[in-house]
Structure 1
Amino acid sequence: MARKTSLRDFQEYLATRLSQAAKGKGAASWLGIEAGGEAWLVDLSDGGEIVQASQLTPVPLTRPWFVGISNIRGNLHAVSDFSVFRGGQPIVQNANARLLLVGARYGINAALLVSRMLGLKNPEDFTPEPSDAAMPAWGQQRFADTHGKIWRKLSVRELLADHDFMSIGV
């Protein structure tokens, strides 16, 4: 019978792994996320923290994908709906929706609103696919898992350097 893990235990385990990856310790791992029906991989060293999608304060005169500001333990984070940014449907803020804090390593308080977490992924379980030249630099890498499902790899550094992503005003 499969061992059951509480959500709190899983979040603590994931936070420890994220912290270790940020410090360059532990095995290489990716975090799987879903946004707008697309599966994405994020280096654990680039993912800061995962928090429940909390109350967001809207900001007027911003692009549709910029959903607002969130106060996370006294720090304001700019929150972008990753699905809408990609041209998809808005993410429903339900029990599965999460904020992935991505900018801390780069000195930017940015968060991505994603549909759900898909867990830790071992890079050895993926095979590289041809790059998608039609995508911006932050999303060109693609991988296939053992079931043939295609995943895109998010380059957080490239995303935070992308002029479109950083230009939130209309």
Structure 2
Amino acid sequence: MMDTEETLQLLTAQMPGIDNSETSLAVLGVAVGEDRYLIPMAEVSEVIAIPKLAHVPLTQPWFLGLANVRGNLYGITDLGVYLGGDPVPFNLKSRILLVMPGNKLYGGFIVNSMLGIRDLSEFTPVKLAKKKLPKCITAQYKDAEGRQWRELSLFKLIGDEKFLQVARE
């Protein structure tokens, strides 16, 4: 599994005329409940409106069901609930981030709203909180207004053993 830096290096190596040392990291800002996250653009294959989901019984509360997107089945996760938050009703601003890291893993993550494409250089790194965070939280930042953002790797999340155990125990 590639991390964000390896993915960025691979992508920029394939772009002639781009100096890797000066390449900025484009991230997608999203709101999940009251929290703000930055997700590397290289990890998101597509953003879609929430389609009709096929419910799957006896699954974890964060697993909302399956969506058929152009013939591919995606397991859809309520990202906020998976990360330990309470369920938040979805609305017209809610979207699904589709991820395909390879090995026929297809995942979709519902976020409450999109906050735009950002450049990671706009943010100031801060130390990660001492409390135990999921492995998929790779960094923490503050923006110019002092708001907290967490960098979230969907590739790390989708490869996590806990995430792969969708069945209720």
By the TM > 0.5 criterion, same fold? yes
Q: How many equivalent residue pairs?
A: 150
Query: What residue is the counterpart of 2:52 in the other structure?
Result: 55
Select 2:134's aligned residue among 116, 133, 136: 136
* 1:38-78 residue CA offsets vs partner (Å, 9 max, x unmatched): 10000000111100011111100100000000011111100
Indicate the SS of the match to 1:158. helix
List runs of 5+ in structure 1 lacking aligned partners. 1-20
Structure 1 stretches (4+) deviating beyond 4 angstroms? none
Number of the residue aligned with 1:64:
61
Tell me the residue number matched to 2:102: 106
TM-score normalized by the length of structure 2? 0.81
In structure 1, distance between residues paired with 2:134 and 2:90: 26
CA contact (8 A) 2:140 2:150 kept: yes
Instruction: Tell me the distance in 2 between the aligned counterparts of 1:150 and 1:142.
Output: 7
Structure 2: runs of 5 or more not aligned: 1-8, 16-22
Shift of 1:27: 4.7
Q: CA deviation at 1:22?
A: 8.7
Cα separation, 2, equivalents of 1:116 and 1:135: 22
Let me know the Cα RMSD of the aligned residues: 2.0
SS at match of 1:83: helix
Q: Which has the higher helix share?
A: 1
Cα pair 2:25 2:121 within 8 Å, conserved: no
Larger RCO: 1 or 2 (CA < 8 Å, sep 6+)? 2
Q: Distance in 1 between matches of 2:107 and 2:129?
A: 25
One-letter amino acid of the structure 2 residue matched with residue 93 of structure 1 = F
Q: d(CA) in 2 for partners of 1:22 and 1:97?
A: 31
| Percent of residue pairs identical | 31
TM-score (norm 1): 0.81
- What amino acid is the match of 1:164? K
Match of 1:74 among 71, 80, 88: 71
**2:38 matches 1:41:** yes
